[in-house]
């Protein structure tokens, strides 16, 4: 049950003022007094699930280290299924769900996206209706391409994502699993105010160039208008990496593949970690400091003519590689970047992509406004 003794009721947590109420309740704990055990583990800050956007996309500034992502086919009424998933999310993040077996959810977030087939049924011309194109270096069978629903679960405690996903599935009839992937992130290094990013399995800091402020997120991540206001487009790609081959390169050559120094993360064009790469900078003998096929050159938003996507990738141990996850207001932000990379990105030579999908990451929700109800309306 909700922790009335802490001065915050379950209802207050579920209301739109829940975040402020929760912050107030935590701040109200006297020094040394234990925090409410249902939600807080080892100083990890809870992430309230309600709001304009789904909390897992941008709220955790310290992105959680553990991820479990599943892709499903959906049978039955989409609105009803989504509303049920939303109820599970509210219950699981509130900390009193029996499926967590007494383990604190901590900073648990569950992010849900709906695939093009289902979006086409209700809004045939809008965002989220286009499937992801195929690209070179893909080995993707039908089961691992597309899908009706993605559920992305993130938390600091490695036990929380599998227990949470199991509970959501248990409570939601009509979902058939296509594939799932576990992945993790190491500790983050500071990039700039309000933004930090972890090293990936290559040893390079990943996620440096990112929209951070509300204005930046509004420009490049959130869909602004209509029934989809507050939503985003989620792209996921399971990219296996030939790590032995990459690590056989001298570090300087690895840095040329990426376009940044490995240790400092500074662009090869100079400056510090938080400086933008300078694609024009040349050495005295006329060579580009950022090689012509470096990943940061091919992926840079300016030549692609798109805003900056929000990347939230996680490293994988099985298979070895990167579970690439990005959020953007328009799919073309991803596709125009991927097209430029496919032409000549030295990093892609070390990869093969074995699963991919695009999903409409639904707008935020709360107890009064069920998950997905602005688009699918629960019946
Ligand atoms: C194996 C897969 C990948 C790895 C290991 C990887 C790694 C990196 C690294 C280390 C950086 C430089 C630091 C940073 O700004 O975060 C970077 C930048 C970037 N990556 Fe990737 N990446 C991968 C795939 C992708 C894909 C599939 C896309 C999108 C289509 C992408 C888009 C970007 C963008 C937009 C930047 C920022 C470029 C800039 O403005 O400087 N990456 N990536």
User: Does residue 70 sit in the same domain as residue 11?
Assistant: no
User: Does residue 167 sit in the same domain as residue 30?
Assistant: no
Q: What is the pLDDT of residues 97-109, one digit of tens each?
A: 899 999 999 999 9
Ligand 1 neighbours, Cβ below 6 Å, are 200, 202, 204-209, 237, 239, 241, 258, 260, 277, 295-296, 299-301, 309, 311, 322, 324, 334, 337-338, 341, 347, 351
The parent domain of residue 333 ranges over 49-361
User: Does residue 218 sit in the same domain as residue 324?
Assistant: yes
Average of per-residue pLDDT across 29-55: 65
Place of tokens 């800091």: 205
User: Does residue 187 sit in the same domain as residue 269?
Assistant: yes
User: Does residue 31 sit in the same domain as residue 57?
Assistant: no
Q: Domain for residue 217, yes or no?
A: yes
Q: What is the pLDDT of residues 251-276, one digit of tens each?
A: 999 999 999 999 999 999 999 999 99
With the most atoms of ligand 1 within 8 angstroms of its CB, the residue from 202, 249, 294, 311 to mutate is 311
Banded model confidence at residue 39, pLDDT cuts 50, 70, 90 = low
Residue 1 · residue 10 · CB < 8 Å: yes
With the most atoms of ligand 1 within 8 angstroms of its CB, the residue from 189, 196, 200, 206 to mutate is 206
pLDDT score, position 59:
79
- DSSP calls for 154-186: EESSTTHHHHHHHHHHHT-TTEEEEEEEEEE--
Q: Domain for residue 110, yes or no?
A: yes
pLDDT score, position 33:
42
Q: What is the pLDDT of residues 193-214, one digit of tens each?
A: 989 999 999 999 999 999 999 9
> For residue 160, which phi and psi values (nearest 5 degrees)?
-70, -45
**CATH assignment of the domain containing 300:** 3.30.70.3420
Give the whole-angstrom CA distance, residue 64 versus residue 56: 9
Cα angle: 284, vertex 342, 278; to 5 degrees = 30
Q: Domain for residue 155, yes or no?
A: yes
**Total number of domains in the chain:** 2
Q: Domain for residue 41, yes or no?
A: no
Q: Domain for residue 366, yes or no?
A: no
Banded model confidence at residue 15, pLDDT cuts 50, 70, 90 = very low
User: Does residue 136 sit in the same domain as residue 83?
Assistant: yes
User: Does residue 61 sit in the same domain as residue 28?
Assistant: no
User: Does residue 233 sit in the same domain as residue 313?
Assistant: yes
On the question of pLDDT at 225 being above 60, the answer is: yes
On the question of pLDDT at 133 being above 70, the answer is: yes
Q: Domain for residue 378, yes or no?
A: no
Out of 2-16, 114-128, 342-356, least confident range: 2-16
End-to-end CA distance of the chain: 28
With the most atoms of ligand 1 within 8 angstroms of its CB, the residue from 63, 263, 296, 309 to mutate is 296
Task: State pTM to two decimals.
Answer: 0.90
Average of per-residue pLDDT across 110-128: 96
Q: What is the pLDDT of residues 61-95, one digit of tens each?
A: 778 999 999 999 999 999 999 999 999 999 999 98
User: Does residue 311 sit in the same domain as residue 337?
Assistant: yes
On the question of pLDDT at 25 being above 80, the answer is: no
Q: What is the pLDDT of residues 273-303, one digit of tens each?
A: 999 999 999 999 999 999 999 999 999 999 9
User: Does residue 27 sit in the same domain as residue 67?
Assistant: no
pLDDT score, position 23:
33
Q: Token pair for residue 97? A: 């769900």
User: Does residue 20 sit in the same domain as residue 115?
Assistant: no
Q: Domain for residue 314, yes or no?
A: yes
User: Does residue 149 sit in the same domain as residue 233?
Assistant: yes
Q: Domain for residue 373, yes or no?
A: no
Give the whole-angstrom CA distance, residue 319 versus residue 23: 39
β-partners of residue 187 are none
């Amino acid at each position: 049950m909700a922790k009335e003794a802490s001065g915050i009721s379950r209802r207050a947590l579920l209301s739109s003022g829940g975040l402020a109420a929760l912050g107030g309740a935590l701040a109200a704990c006297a020094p040394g007094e234990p925090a409410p055990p249902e939600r807080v583990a080892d100083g990890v800050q809870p992430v309230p699930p309600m709001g304009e956007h789904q909390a897992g996309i941008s709220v955790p500034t310290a992105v959680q280290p553990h991820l479990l992502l599943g892709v499903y086919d959906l049978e039955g009424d989409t609105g009803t299924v989504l509303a049920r998933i939303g109820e599970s999310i509210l219950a699981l993040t509130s900390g009193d769900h029996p499926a967590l077996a007494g383990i604190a959810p901590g900073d648990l977030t569950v992010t849900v996206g709906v695939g093009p087939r289902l979006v086409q049924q209700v809004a045939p011309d809008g965002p989220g209706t286009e499937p992801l194109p195929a690209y070179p270096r893909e080995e993707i069978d039908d089961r691992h391409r597309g899908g009706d629903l993605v559920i992305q679960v993130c938390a600091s405690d490695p036990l929380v994502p599998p227990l949470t996903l199991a509970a959501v599935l248990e409570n939601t009839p009509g979902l058939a699993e296509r594939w799932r992937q576990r992945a993790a992130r190491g500790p983050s290094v500071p990039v700039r105010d309000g933004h930090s990013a972890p090293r990936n399995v290559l040893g390079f800091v990943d996620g440096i160039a990112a929209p951070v402020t509300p204005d930046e997120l509004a420009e490049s991540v959130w869909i602004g208008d209509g029934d989809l206001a507050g939503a985003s487009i989620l792209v996921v790609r399971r990219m296996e990496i030939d790590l032995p081959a990459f690590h056989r390169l001298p570090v300087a050559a690895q840095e040329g593949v990426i376009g940044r120094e490995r240790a400092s993360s500074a662009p090869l064009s100079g400056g510090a970690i938080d400086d933008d790469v300078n694609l024009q900078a040349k050495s005295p003998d006329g060579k580009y400091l950022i090689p012509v096929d470096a990943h940061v050159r091919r992926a840079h938003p300016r030549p692609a003519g798109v805003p900056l996507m929000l990347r939230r990738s996680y490293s994988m141990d099985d298979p070895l590689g990167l579970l690439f996850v990005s959020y953007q207001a328009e799919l073309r932000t991803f596709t125009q970047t991927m097209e430029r990379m496919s032409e000549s990105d030295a990093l892609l030579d070390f990869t093969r992509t074995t699963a991919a999908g695009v999903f409409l990451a639904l707008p935020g929700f709360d107890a009064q406004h069920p998950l997905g109800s602005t688009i699918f309306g629960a019946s």
